[in-house]
Amino acid sequence: MDEMELTIRGMVQEGKGILAADESLPTLAKRFSQFGIESTEETRRSYRSLLFSTPGIEHYISGIILFEETLTQRDDHGRLLPEMLSSRGIVPGIKVDRGAVPLAGSPGDKITEGLDGLSLRLRTYKMQGARFAKWREVYAITEKNPSWIAIDANAEMLARYAAVCQEEGIVPIVEPEVLIDGDHSMERCLDVTEIVLHAVFHALYRHGIILECMVLKPSMVLPGKAFFPRAAPEKVAESTVRVLKRTVPAAVPSINFLSGGQGPEEATVNLNAMNALFRNPPWALSFSYGRALQSKALEAWGGKSENSNKMQAVFLERAQLNGLARRGEYRPEMEGA
């Protein structure tokens, strides 16, 4: 309990959020290829070292989710990246799931693998500096999905993962992602999100999870990407917080949203709307973005060392703007200022 409480205090801080830098090798290779960057062990190390060593990000980033490879990589000064982060007051974490596969008996739904050997892996990650973990389950929305089989099975997997983490003194980030692919309405997303979160917290209760020592990483309530018109930030905020009030116990210290395909500005303005409209909610409303924090920085870098300072400046600005959104103080005119 003591070490998990210490980890939570480091992860949940006013004006700060979590960077998701846990892209798998194929995912990072795909993102690199968009800017003509070859994905090698050295380019991945160089990119993440530059990102993590950006001066000033410790004022806006409290934790970083790492990929397994990153735990053993070093910065340009020879320091292990988890050690470098810890020295700056940034808590290192680790993605531990092994990816989603089709769920038998439920066409169109998926289930995430990786529970086998998780305890042993967590002990190794902990020795390498990780203090929290992340596991993602995904829920597609169609006329038939997600099925009740998928809702129950995915909730059970999240709870079993969280139980193993807490048994090892690791804070679990529980990530039930309701996907925004498709043409479903915001109302349909709201209904699915509410059902999913109810199932997740029932499963967490059954497995005896200490709610004060976990973080929830959900998607916002949004219409599908192919649905028009797009939702106004105030509508996103109102719908999302309404669902959270119905499903998430006040004992959970922080809700760190994933960006889930939103653009950088969209993810920031929607988070800001929640914190501007709902003062003093029972939990912190923060961010745990991947692409929404990194995409502009990666474009600015382009794999070229001469662009390092430019890349770090772009990343710092994105982190700062989301730190302001965490307080409800972001304004669109701040972009590029």
Residue with tokens 């939103």: 262
Q: Dihedrals φ, ψ of 78, to 5°?
A: 90, 5
Amino acid found at 312: Q
Is the alpha carbon torsion for 240, 245, 246, 249 positive or negative?
Answer: positive
How does DSSP assign 39-50, residue by residue? Answer: --HHHHHHHHHH
Q: How far is CA 210 from CA 71, 90, 120, in A?
A: 27, 23, 21
Count Cβ atoms below 10 Å from residue 117 Cβ, excluding itself.
8
42-62 pLDDT tens trace: 999 999 999 999 999 999 999
How does DSSP assign 95-142, residue by residue? Answer: E----EEEPTTSTT-EEE---TTHHHHHHHHHHTT--EEEEEEEE--S
d(CA 297, CA 59): 18
pLDDT band at 11 (very low <50, low <70, confident <90, very high): very high
Residue 337 has pLDDT above 80, yes or no: no
Average pLDDT, the chain: 97
CB 322 within 8 A of CB 60: yes
Task: State both tokens at 235.
Answer: 């509508």
% of residues, the chain, pLDDT over 90: 98
100-139 pLDDT tens trace: 999 999 999 999 999 999 999 999 999 999 999 999 999 9
Residue 278 has pLDDT above 80, yes or no: yes
The DSSP bridge pattern shows strands 110-112 and 215-216 to be unpaired
| CB-count burial class (<10 Å; 0-12, 13-18, 19+) for 201 | buried
Arithmetic mean of pLDDT, 251-259? 98
pTM of the model: 0.97
Arithmetic mean of pLDDT, 304-308? 96
User: Where do the domains of the chain lie?
Assistant: 2-334
180-202 pLDDT tens trace: 999 999 999 999 999 999 999 99
> Is 257 in a helix, a strand, or coil?
strand
- CATH 3.40.50.12780 corresponds to the domain 2-334: no
CB 76 within 8 A of CB 112: no
CB 161 within 8 A of CB 115: yes
Residue 299 has pLDDT above 80, yes or no: yes
Residue 80 has pLDDT above 90, yes or no: yes
Residue 145 has pLDDT above 90, yes or no: yes
For the chain, how long is the longest CA-to-CA vector?
53
Residue 21 has pLDDT above 90, yes or no: yes
pLDDT band at 152 (very low <50, low <70, confident <90, very high): very high
Residue 1 has pLDDT above 90, yes or no: no
Q: Which residues form the catalytic set?
A: 175, 217
d(CA 44, CA 215): 27
- Angle at 257 (CA atoms; ends 131, 97), nearest 5 degrees: 50
